[in-house]
Every structure is written in C-alpha cells, then in structure tokens.
Chains A and B, each alone.
Chain A
Amino acid sequence: MSQHDCNTCSAHAELARMGVTLDRIDRVVALAGNPNTGKSTLFNALTGLKQHTGNWPGKTVTRAEGAFEFDKVRYKLVDLPGTYSLLSASHDEQIARDFLLFGDPDATIVVIDATAIERNLNLVLQVLEITSRVVVAVNLMDEAKRKHLDVDIRSLSRDLGVPAVGITARTGDGIRSLLEAVAGVSSGELHTVPLRVTGTPAFHRAISELVPLIESVAPGVPNARWIAIRLLDGDAEVEEALTSGRLAGLAADQQESAPRFSAKISLQGTQ
C-alpha cells in the first residue's frame, strides 16, 4: 500500500480536485448521514480540534475535514453535507455523491438516527449502491432508549450486509467499536456483502443489460450497477463522467491498488 508515491493515481488526483490533501495520511474516510443525526457531534468526537472548515471547491457549501489516528493508522475524515438522499441533485447531494463516486474513500461511515431508522435507511441503501465499503453508525442510542425503542443492531447489520455499530456520539459510547469496524472495512480485512435493492422486473432486465456495457467502457469500475441506474434515470453528470472517461480512469487506478478487495474474513463470520 504505497499511497505516498502514487502521484499519478487518478483517485488521488480526484481527491486533490475536491480539495483533499493526502499529506501524512494513510486512509480516507467519508462521513455521510441525514441532517440532525448527530453527524457533526461524531465528527467532533473523532477529530477533536484537528479539523478545519472551508468550502467545497467552486461551491458555497461548507465542508469540514479532520484527522484522527487509530491503531497506528492515520485517517483523514471528510464530513459530507447532510442529505436525505443522493437523487435530488441539489448542491449538497451532488457533492456527497461525487465524493463517494469519484473520491472513492477507503471507507464511508453513514450515521443514522436510532429513533428514525426507516427514514435514515433510504440514504444508507443509496450509499450501498455506490460503494460497498460502508460502516453504519447507529447514533443516538440513548435517545432511542428514552423513547423505549429497542434497536437490534445485529439484525440491521445482517440485513444490510455491512457492519453496523450502535453509538452515542455525545458521550463517546461505542466509538471504539465503530473505529474497529472502520479499520476492518478500510483495510479490506472485513468483507462486506452490501444489500442491493431489486426493483420491478423491467427495471432488473434493463440493469442487467447495461451493466456489462458499462463495464466494457470503464473496465473494473466497482459500481457499474449504480451507474446503470443513474443512466436509466437520466443523470447528466454521470453521463458526462462516462463519456469523458473520468470513470474509466478511476477504475484503472483501483485495479492497481486492489488488495483491499481481498476478502479475508466475511462479515457473517464476525457477527
């Protein structure tokens, strides 16, 4: 994993384009979530004062990033704008989506509200379409308790096919387990089998026809299925990324640094 001398890697070029510098950093972690889920509380809990805020390049959307260390690995944490979805193409959603797609973070933490799981899963399921290296942080476990809600983290994790960890960001409860999961997912030691939503039969047919076509244009792209969905929906930006070769370049880079895909331990085994 020689990330430092990899100046030509397009994923890193993409990261630089999005304003992320990789000095003395081993892995990049994105932080996604709905608004009002305590995402920034978690961000502060993880990074402390090692953070700085600014704008996303060319956009008037506030961005924050910070750094933390866990088990001798240095992580950069990029706080994505809080969104309910990745489909609406508002500025916020576009930024979050672009970062997940082109920035290709080593892991993505999706913060969800334990008291409104159903609503929050909308975003989780959409993120799972783009990247499989996801950890779900079920925040506000204390609020859930106050509201007499029993949250079954295991069932959630089993259904989603990615690790889920119950936390209370305000008090720091569960943050260690969260970081262990992030370490596992970002190093590739924890293999994830993300749930993908199946739609109508016609939808399914259309997707399975497009996926091989996309893979031939951008070989090795990890989220051909998601791209196919976006193309069917008529997403101008994804169309652009495909014709300009931005996606293909990204995929070529990923194949070089493939070790993270080596599935050593499957998630089911650890649970």
Chain B
Amino acid sequence: MDRLLTIAIVGVAALVLTLAWAWMGRRRAAQGRRRLEDALKHLFELEYRGRQASLASLTGALGVRDRVALNLVARMQTQGLLIASASEFKLTSEGERLALQVIRAHRLLERYFADEARLPLPQVHAAAERGEHHLSPEAADRLSASLGHPAVDPHGDPIPTREGFVPPAAGTPATAWPLDRLARVIHLEDEPPISYAQLVAEGIVVGQTIRIIDSSPERLVLTDGENEFRLAPAVAANIFLDAAPDTPARVGAVRLAELATGQAAQVLGLDEQCRGYSRRRLMDLGFTEGATIRAALNTFAGDPRAYEIRGTLVALRRDQASQVLVLPLERAS
C-alpha cells in the first residue's frame, strides 16, 4: 500500500515537473522569439531612417543586458537574418522580410487601436507592441482588409504591404527645418514614449500645418497659427516635416464647434484626426464638402449641439464638431 502510494506520488510529481518544464520551455521560446522580432524591428527601423545600429542601440531598444543582445546577434547570424561586421549590422533580405512582417502587424494594430477601439493615442503603441507577436501574416491580411487597407499608421508611418513593400522614408526632422517655412507634420516618432507623450500632450498631430518661429540650442518654438509649442530640440527632433501642400489656404475656415448658434456655414471637409468609424459615420450623415450646415440647437452645458444638415437635425459632441471644417456664410438678416 505504502509503495503504491509512493509510486503514485512520484508519478504525479514527475508529471507536474514535466508539464512545468514544458511550459517554461514554451514560455522561454516565446520570449526568445519576441526578442528576436523586436531586434529585427529595431534594426530595420534604424536602417530605414538612415541611422546606424549598434550593440548599444540594440540593448537600449530592447532593455536587455549586453550578453543577451550579443546572443541575439549571434542567433540572427546563424539563422541567416543578419550580417554583422566590425562596424555595422546589416539585415539580410530574409531578415528584412521578417522585420517587415512584424512592422506590418504593429502598424496595422496601431491603426486598429486608434480608429476602431478608440484607445487614447499615447496608449496605442504599447497595445500594438503586445499584440504584434501574436498576429500571423494571414491574420494581418484580414485585419488590413477589415480596416480598408490603410496606407499609414496613426503616427504617419507607412504600413508595409503584404508583399513587403514600404515607400522610402520621407520628411525632415523639425530641428533641421528652416525657420518660417510652412510645413506639414507627416510623422511623429513614437520612440521613446516619453517624448512622444509630450508631443501628444502639446497637441501636435499628423497632418497639422505648422511653422517654426524660433530656434535656439535650448528651445524650438513652433506655431500652428493659433498656439505656440515650446519644445526641447531632443523632443522636436521626433517631429518629421514636409513642405505644406500648396492648396490655396482656406481663408476664413473655422471649426464647426466654433460656429455661433444660429449661424449657417458651408462644410469644407473633415480634418485628418477624424478617422475610422467616426469619419465614416459623419460622411454617411452627409458631412461632405459643399453641404450647407447650421448650428441649430444648444444645450444646457453647451455640449453637445445640434446641427441642421441636409434637412435633418444631427447632434454632435464638441470634440467631433471640432473635426469638421466649415466656412461661415454671411448671417442672414
């Protein structure tokens, strides 16, 4: 009896240990894969922006010790993903393909979290970071289709196509942009998160038109015509600019939320920040260029307000109404 019990206990213990070992092994394998993918992503992104990757940048980006990073580099080399020489790292075409797969998953997820799940913009990156390793290429294709095959992520970065095509890097860092020349924000670097959070908090968004009005080693002063943004150069370097499109400036354009109650206006369009479901909804309700709109009803709190458009009253909250650009019409006497 005792022996039977002993055998049973040993058996169960062995089973538990085996399972635990298998589980730990799987976890470690998953962690290894995650690190590998993060490393590939890091190397590709630096190459893409024309910067030099190093062991130091790798340890910094992954938050691991030197020894771990060295092991990673060795592993990538044996798997034929990376060619490391004394002075530089270079991804092989296979390494690049894998990197692009992860980046595609990451940016599609960011688009999803920002547009459909409506996560606040600073949280989008972290959420995508967690999900990117679990999204198979097929699942990424399906996600892409369900989002309407977006071309760029919420920070303005291009989303690689299924075939691994990604347009060359565009834009100049704000620190290298000439004073007083009108520019459009085309990309906000989301690494490191602290400076990205600051940019978001300041209210700088992709698609915004800005001008640099003052530049010194300590401060860069930007303006969007209304507000001034004072940024440390290290932070401002994360803003990438391009020449503002020379479409004629919309003279006198205001945001729908600023329209006085009772006043009529003509819709010019929705601004770039209005994305995903909310954009589709507004378009479907007829908030398209040329439509006549009137701020009809106000509430106790001043928010929401109801607008008369295409023969119907539609109530919008203030933050949505400020994403609609309108041209006020002269007040009817």
Within the complex, are A and B direct neighbours (CB within 8 Å)?
yes
- Interface pick from A5-13, A96-104, A168-176, A232-240: A232-240
Instruction: Fill in one digit per residue for B277-299: 1 if any A CB lies within 8 Å of its CB, else 0.
Output: 10011011110000000000000
Q: CB within 8 A of B145: which of A84, A117, A236?
A: A236
Scoring B residues 259 to 292 as 1 if CB is less than 8 Å from chain A, else 0, what string do you get?
0000000000000000001001101111000000
Q: Check: A115 CB closer than 8 A to any chain B CB.
A: yes
Q: Is the interface of A mostly helix, strand, loop or mixed?
A: loop
B130 at the interface (CB under 8 A from A): no
Residues in chain A near residue B286, CB distance under 8 A: 118-119, 122
* Contact between B277 and A235, CB atoms less than 8 A apart: no
Q: Which of B195-232 contact A (CB under 8 A)?
A: none
Given contacts A88-B277, A119-B310, A119-B311, contact A236 B146 (CB under 8 A): yes
Which residues from A are CB-within-8-Å of B27?
none
Task: Let me know if B312 and A119 touch, CB within 8 A.
Answer: yes
Nearest B residue (CB) for A238: B145
The interface size bin for chain B is 10 to 19
Q: How far is the CB of B329 from chain A (nearest CB, A)?
A: 18
Residues of chain B with a CB closer than 8 A to A88's CB: 277, 280-281, 284
Given A84-B285, A88-B277, verify A236-B312 contact (CB < 8 Å): no
B277 → A minimal CB distance (Å): 7
A235 touches B284 (CB 8 A): no
> When the two chains form their complex, are residues B284 and A85 in contact, meaning their CB atoms are under 8 A apart?
yes
In the docked arrangement, what's the CA distance between A118 and B146, Å?
29
- Cα A115 to Cα B286 with chains together (Å): 16
B33 at the interface (CB under 8 A from A): no
For residue B120, give the distance in angstroms from its CB to the closest CB of chain A. 23
Least distance between A269 CB and chain B CB atoms (Å): 33
Chain B residue, CB-CB nearest to A123: B284
Q: Which residue of B lies closest to A90 (CB)?
A: B277
Contact among A84, A233, A234 with B284 in the assembled complex (CB-CB below 8 Å): A84
* Minimum distance in angstroms from B315 CB to a CB of chain A: 14
Chain B residues with CB under 8 A of A234? 144-145, 147-149
Tell me the bound Cα distance from A236 to B146 in angstroms. 5
Verify if B65 is at the interface (C-beta below 8 Å from A). Answer: no
Please, which residues of chain A bring their CB within 8 A of the CB of B148?
233-235
A115-B311, A118-B311, A233-B148 known; A87+B285 contact, CB < 8 A: no
> Would you call A116 an interface residue if the criterion is a C-beta within 8 Å of the partner chain's C-beta atoms?
yes
Query: When each residue 71-89 of chain A gets 1 if its CB lies under 8 Å from chain B and 0 otherwise, what string results?
Result: 0000000000000110111
| Size range of the chain A interface in the assembly | 10 to 19
Once the chains bind, are B280 and A235 in contact (CB under 8 Å)? no
Q: Are A122 and B284 in contact (CB under 8 A)?
A: yes
Give A239 to B311 CA distance when docked, in angstroms: 35
Instruction: Give A234 to B159 CA distance when docked, in angstroms.
Output: 15
B142 at the interface (CB under 8 A from A): yes
Say how far B310's CB is from chain A's closest CB, in angstroms: 4
B284 contacts which chain A residues (CB < 8 A)? 84-85, 87-88, 122
Distance in angstroms from A50 CB to nearest chain B CB is: 32
| B interface footprint on A200-244 (CB within 8 Å = 1, 0 otherwise) | 000000000000000000000000000000000111100100000
Q: Roughly how many angstroms separate A113 CA and B312 CA in the complex, as a whole number? A: 11
Closest to B277 in A: A88
Q: What's the minimum C-beta distance from A58 to chain B, rounded to whole angstroms?
A: 17
Interface residues of A in 225-271 (CB under 8 A from B): 233-236, 239
Expressed in whole angstroms, the Cα–Cα distance for A90 and B146 within the complex equals 12
Contact with B along A106-135 (1 / 0, CB 8 A): 000000010111110010000000000000
Interfacial chain B residues near A90, Cβ < 8 Å: 277
Q: B145 contacts which chain A residues (CB < 8 A)?
A: 234-236, 239
> How long is the Cα–Cα vector from A116 to B312 in the complex, in angstroms?
7
Which residue of chain A has its CB nearest to the CB of B148?
A: A234
User: How far is B148's CA from A23's CA once the two chains are assembled, in angstroms?
Assistant: 39
Once the chains are docked, how many angstroms separate the CA of A115 from the CA of B313? 12
Q: How far is A239 from B312 in the complex, measured between Cα atoms in Å?
A: 34
Closest Cβ neighbor of B288 among chain A residues: A122
Contacting residues of chain B (98-148) with chain A, CB-CB under 8 angstroms? 142, 144-148
CA distance A233 to B283 in the complex (A): 15
Q: Which residue of A lies closest to B145 (CB)?
A: A236
Please give, as numbers and ranges, the residues of chain B lying within 8 Å of A87 by CB-CB distance.
280, 283-284
8 further interface pairs, Cβ-Cβ under 8 Å (given A233-B148, A234-B144, A236-B142):
A88-B277, A88-B280, A89-B280, A117-B311, A118-B310, A234-B145, A234-B148, A236-B145
- What 10 A-B pairs come out closest when comparing CB atoms? A116-B311, A85-B284, A236-B145, A234-B149, A234-B148, A236-B146, A119-B310, A88-B280, A84-B284, A118-B310
Q: Which residues from chain A sit less than 8 Å from chain B, CB to CB?
A: 84-85, 87-90, 113, 115-119, 122, 233-236, 239
The 24 sampled A-B contact pairs (Cβ below 8 Å) are A84-B285, A85-B280, A87-B283, A88-B281, A88-B284, A89-B146, A113-B311, A116-B310, A116-B312, A117-B311, A118-B286, A119-B285, A119-B286, A119-B311, A119-B312, A122-B284, A122-B286, A233-B148, A234-B144, A234-B145, A235-B148, A236-B142, A236-B146, A239-B145
Residues of chain B touching chain A, judged by Cβ–Cβ distance below 8 Å, are 142, 144-149, 277, 280-281, 283-286, 310-312
